[in-house]
Amino acid sequence: MKEFELKYGCNPNQKPSRIYIEDGSELPIEILNGKPGYINFLDAFNSWQLVKELKDALGMPSATSFKHVSPTSAAVGIPLPLSLKRACFVDDIEGLDDSPLACAYARARGTDRMSSFGDWIALSEVCDVTTARLIQREVSDGVIAPGYEPEALEILRSKKKGNYNIVQIDPNFVPAEKEKKQVFGITFEQGRNNFVIDEALLSNIVTENKILPEEGKRDLIIALITLKYTQSNSVCYAVNGQAIGVGAGQQSRIHCTRLAGQKADIWHLRQHPKVLGLPFLESVPRAVRDNTIDVYISEDSDDVLADGKWQQFFSVCPDALTVKEKKEYLAGISGVALGSDAFFPFDDNIIRAHRSGVSYIAQPGGSVRDDIVISSCNTFGITMAFTGMRLFHH
């Protein structure tokens, strides 16, 4: 297949629309089901690059959940503890621990469940049955992977009344070194961002604390590769093999750090015993549970529980999660890694990151206030590496 005609572009009025390779080469994909659209393919090709790069960097099966050309999360295939399985609504999936790929997607999809509603999925490996069953019950637009087990493919084809988008990509495809796009009828051309993110990038530690354990290196690499495919400005928090908070497309660095930090805090609080113990009625859909949990965590839960709208979802009235309890719970968090796609211009970012348990930071460096940012890291005992490489993505 040398080109694929799309229903329309970003919006229904933008016609005609198609995807093709400019030199007339065959597309490196096969559409196994559905009819993906313009934004679907933007998500598919960006997300595939992310998981392929994660797999190459860390040697582990990887998955990501994408929405509007930015990842909500990305993760590698590490088994989930029971509390995280419950928080991600996957504690009933048989054989989950036996499928690293399914563990990776359970982590990625479970991180920011509200943002992942209607996501595009990318998998670094051939999709197995366990991963397909996990995907089957989530609201999703489509998936891209290098292959699908026959039974997994049939499971996925049953989604969306048979219209679920399933794309298979040639994992050996190498794109041209130069890439182009048009804006306002004007063609932009640049070299592809082939910069390799690996452990060597973390060698220039500029803080008094030089301790950077293997888990911290892994999580910083996950954060940085996630940022490489996130709309800038962007900041990413990661821990235990997964991105837990992505702040994308903000004009101010501190707003990236706050947004990503808030998402990371919510991810942690989803595992609070009071949240895990919320007595939802069996009839409450998963998406409604997500919305309710988000409100319960983010707002004054006394006010939430006093609202009859929310009471109808519970078998009995649950206990409130107080501001004091949330602060105490989050105060015990540490070992979180943070990546930034450009330098921190002020130390307000470090102060905010510390509040979310950040122990390790990787950022390009190069600000006129680097000394202030480093001093702030020293105050909190944070280890920070200067990578010397900006990771803008637009």
**Residues carrying an active site annotation:** 67-68, 233, 394
CB of 224 within 8 A of CB of 392? no
DSSP 246-295: EEES-SSHHHHHHHHHHHHHHHHHTTSHHHHT--B-TTS-HHHHHHHHHH
Secondary structure class of 42 (helix, strand, coil): helix
Query: Taking the alpha carbons of 91, 97, 98, 101 in that order, is the dihedral positive or negative?
Result: positive
Angle subtended at Cα 69 by Cα 232 and Cα 254, rounded to the nearest 5 degrees: 30
Three-state DSSP string of 63-132 = EEEEECCEEEEEEECCCCCHHHHHHCCCCCCCCHHHCHHHHHHHHHHHHCCCCCCCEEEEECCCECHHHH
Angle subtended at Cα 246 by Cα 163 and Cα 272, rounded to the nearest 5 degrees: 95
Q: At what angle do helices 286-298 and 253-269 cross, to 10 degrees?
A: 110
